[in-house]
Amino acid sequence: MAVKSSRIFSRIKQQYKLAIGLIILSVSLTSVAALYVLYQQKEYAHYINLAGKQRMLSQKINLIAYQAVHHPLSSALPNNADLMQTLDKFRIGFQLLSQTSAIDILSEPRQIQVKNLYYSNVYSIEQTINTYTEEVRLFIENGHEIRFNYQVLFNPDALENLLQALDQVVTIYQQQAEQSVQNLETSILILWLFTLLVIGLEVIYIFKPTQQQIVRLFSLQEDSARQLVAAKEQAEHANSIKSQLLANISHEVRTPLNGVLGMLNIIKTQRRFEPDYIQKAERCAHDLVHILDFVLEFADLEQNKTKIQIKPCCFTQLASNLTMNWQKVSSEKGLAFDIHLAENVPVTLDCDAKAIESIVNNLCSNAVKFTEFGSVKLEFGLEQKSGSLVNLIICVQDTGIGMLDDAKQSLFDAFNQQSKGLSRKFEGCGIGLSIVKKLLKLLDGRIEIDSKLGQGTRVTVKLPVKLHPLLPAEPGMLPQNTNICLQLITQNPVLQHHYRILANHLGIALEVLDSIPFEPKQDLPCRGLVLFDLAMLKGFPELNPDQTWVLLNTNKQYPDKLTNSIPAFLNIQVLIQTIEGEVLTQSALSWPEKRVLVVEDNEINQEVIRNLLEQFKIEVEVANDGLEAVELIQQKYFDLVLMDLQMPNLDGISATQKIRSLSLNFQPPVVALTAHALRTDEQACYDAGMDDFLTKPINADNLFNVLRRFLTR
């Protein structure tokens, strides 16, 4: 029995070993076959997906190009870097699909089919992609303007041919995958019959890892859901802020617009052409322009398109303009506005005047807005750095509501407001200090804020600038042995500072009369010149300027009969000419023998510009577009060209470039006169060969300065 039992146990053992061997063999063969099928399907799926992705990327490229052409102002447009990145992915996908390892997994007939699609002729995928790549780069370099005959990028037929070719590649890989599956189905079925014997083991070795994977995936899904909720809340917050900005802008725009339309309606219905109504409508219109410039500047900065332009600037005139503007705004609110210039502040600086003006305006706007009573003070100073490099120090101090230290952290965030909603006390768009922050970054400047709740705020800005010498007017340029002295009648501290520097530079005496009443000296032991600030007439209408005085115009708010004035802030050369009796007043400036070409397609604008120019007895001729302007300039002589930018047939930039390429006996100065007010537009005009830049609505004073610059020679 023992021997028999031994044999039975030996047989059972052998059977057990055989069973175990069969199980191992079955599982091994099934696993190898399954892995082989999965590997093949993975390869086929990879290349199928890659070829399909080629279609998606090509369509994405065309969509970006279409949006850039048809919706150039959309804030949702991708940038050129996104377009180039998409193109690179498109080319890399083609390289992967066309490599030998990708083609070798196909059967020989299908390899020939794929190679024919890739390389067969000029309409092959490779040739089309090469052409496509060059056209996208050309499209990026030409600023999203279609001026070329694109073979693929804007050619629906060529693009459809490319998509169909990619579809054929996908189909070939799909057919190969299906054939492979069919060949292996029978063997896999047999092997799976053996696999049924080891279901228990598979459950143990497969179910548990799968269960763990499912648990891990659910955990990751929960984490993703939490992140999605947080991102959604952040997006909703951003949308809420931007919606508030749009509401603020709508309110800020509609308020002055209501003033313009209201005053015009009063004039129309009551037929009362009172100067006060016209001035109020004009002031509201200027407020509208200011808001538009404000929002455009913010948009330009947000898109990182702003470029700093360092030029010589009459800083004293800039400071005076800022002072008069904010003195008027402050007085309407019952506040005092003071300005102080340190003795070392020069007449002229090399700087970006527009950026400085924007910074000061935004700081003063906040100071006046958050000050209920008391005063606002604007200070300018200079801090030496090295050589001609200095720091311009701008301080704005108010006696307003102040702020807590916690509020300073979010002070420069866009759309930030001290109060929000319909009941908010302080108006505004909430982007002023954000503009200041971005400009300071471009200018390499710094800002410091010292504020206490209920005790006011002091903001200090430091900007690196460069001193601009007063040369070529050297001391001693006046005639030898000539005793000259100046008398300046003004209460404007900036004007006093300006002429004090010029007088010291020329080595002549200056007497400032700023109190009323005053008695200018008649019998002077020197050859005297009296400079009279016309702004004094507004506060002291009883003053009667002597005919021999030089009338300085600072704010254009003087009676019509006193038009024989000159700009208030003379440079040193003009001051010398004035001392020598060669002063040229505004009323004496007319150019009856000058001819100006106005290139403008809008009839109302043509009428406005013509009217302004004819006041100076200028002969005006109008061209309706750039092509007509180029033809007229070749036929006639013009002393000046005022050029609009956006016009049919030929725009102002292209027209200027054509004019500059002409061989003319005299190349007329070309001045942009456009509604495109961004810094990038201004730089584009200078790059095209224009000599100056004016924006619409037309400022009569700025137009007058341009005429005097180019027509007085």
Between 478 and 376, the more confident residue is 376
Give the mean model confidence (pLDDT) for residues 311-331: 88
Domain of 166 in residue numbering reads as: 19-203
pLDDT band at 378 (very low <50, low <70, confident <90, very high): very high
Would you state the pLDDT for residue 586?
A: 53
Same domain? For 525 and 660 the reply is no
| CA–CA separation, 35 and 27 (whole Å) | 12
CA dist list (Å): 490 to 467, 504, 511, 707: 27, 18, 11, 28
Joined tokens for residue 647:
């016009």
| CA–CA separation, 363 and 417 (whole Å) | 14
Give the mean model confidence (pLDDT) for residues 325-349: 89
Would you state the pLDDT for residue 194?
A: 63
Residue 387 zone, left/alpha/beta (φ > 0; ψ -120 to 50; rest): left
Same domain? For 510 and 492 the reply is yes
Would you state the pLDDT for residue 340?
A: 92
Same domain? For 102 and 197 the reply is yes
* Surface-to-core class of residue 709, CB atoms within 10 Å of its CB (0-12 exposed, 13-18 middle, 19+ buried): middle
Would you state the pLDDT for residue 25?
A: 67
Joined tokens for residue 332:
């309407």
| CA–CA separation, 297 and 302 (whole Å) | 9
Same domain? For 658 and 566 the reply is no
Contact by Cβ (8 Å): 366, 435? no
| Least confident residue range of 155-159, 163-167, 248-252, 624-628 | 248-252
Same domain? For 324 and 421 the reply is yes
Would you state the pLDDT for residue 667?
A: 92
pLDDT digits (tens, 9 = 90+) for 454-512: 888 999 999 999 888 775 544 445 655 457 788 888 888 999 899 898 888 888 888 88
CA dist list (Å): 164 to 55, 125, 126, 160, 665: 9, 10, 14, 6, 58
Between 197 and 573, the more confident residue is 573
Q: Residue 557 pLDDT > 70, yes or no?
A: no
In-domain check, residue 172: yes
Same domain? For 611 and 674 the reply is yes
CATH code of 615's domain: 3.40.50.2300
Give the mean model confidence (pLDDT) for residues 84-101: 81
Between 29 and 48, the more confident residue is 48
| CA–CA separation, 269 and 481 (whole Å) | 66
| CA–CA separation, 448 and 436 (whole Å) | 12
In-domain check, residue 696: yes
Same domain? For 517 and 458 the reply is no
pLDDT band at 652 (very low <50, low <70, confident <90, very high): very high
| CA–CA separation, 394 and 396 (whole Å) | 7
pLDDT band at 327 (very low <50, low <70, confident <90, very high): confident
pLDDT digits (tens, 9 = 90+) for 111-162: 888 888 888 776 788 888 888 888 888 877 776 566 566 777 777 777 788 8
Q: Residue 425 pLDDT > 50, yes or no?
A: no
Q: Residue 81 pLDDT > 80, yes or no?
A: no
In-domain check, residue 81: yes
In-domain check, residue 11: no
Would you state the pLDDT for residue 638?
A: 94
Same domain? For 45 and 194 the reply is yes
CATH code of 333's domain: 3.30.565.10
pLDDT band at 242 (very low <50, low <70, confident <90, very high): low
In-domain check, residue 84: yes
Would you state the pLDDT for residue 559?
A: 40
Same domain? For 71 and 184 the reply is yes
CATH code of 541's domain: 3.40.50
How many residues are given for the chain? 713
Would you state the pLDDT for residue 380?
A: 94
C-alpha triplet 179, 184, 190: angle, nearest 5°? 150
Helix or strand run (H / E) with residue 285: helix 275-302
Would you state the pLDDT for residue 542?
A: 72
In-domain check, residue 281: no
In-domain check, residue 377: yes
CATH code of 47's domain: 1.20.120
pLDDT band at 660 (very low <50, low <70, confident <90, very high): very high
Considering 203, 221, 242, which residue would you say is the last residue of a domain?
203
Same domain? For 329 and 408 the reply is yes
Contact by Cβ (8 Å): 649, 676? no
pLDDT digits (tens, 9 = 90+) for 280-317: 777 777 777 777 776 766 667 766 777 788 888 888 88
pLDDT band at 635 (very low <50, low <70, confident <90, very high): very high
Between 677 and 618, the more confident residue is 618
Between 692 and 285, the more confident residue is 692
Considering 407, 435, 467, which residue would you say is the last residue of a domain?
467
In-domain check, residue 277: no
Would you state the pLDDT for residue 177?
A: 78
Same domain? For 461 and 519 the reply is no
Give the mean model confidence (pLDDT) for residues 409-413: 63
pLDDT band at 208 (very low <50, low <70, confident <90, very high): low
Would you state the pLDDT for residue 597?
A: 95
Q: Residue 11 pLDDT > 70, yes or no?
A: no
Same domain? For 164 and 63 the reply is yes
Considering 185, 203, 221, which residue would you say is the last residue of a domain?
203
Q: First-to-last CA distance in the chain? A: 137
| Least confident residue range of 32-36, 174-178, 365-369 | 32-36
DSSP E strands: which ranges in 327-470? 336-341, 348-351, 375-386, 389-398, 446-452, 456-467
Between 145 and 649, the more confident residue is 649
Q: Residue 678 pLDDT > 50, yes or no?
A: yes
Query: What's the total number of domains in the chain?
Result: 4
Question: Which among 41-50, 226-235, 241-250 has the top mean pLDDT?
Answer: 226-235
Residues 6+ positions from 261 with CB-CB distance below 8 Å: none
Average model confidence (pLDDT) across the chain: 77
Would you state the pLDDT for residue 146?
A: 60
Would you state the pLDDT for residue 108?
A: 84
pLDDT digits (tens, 9 = 90+) for 25-34: 666 776 776 6
Contact by Cβ (8 Å): 357, 349? no
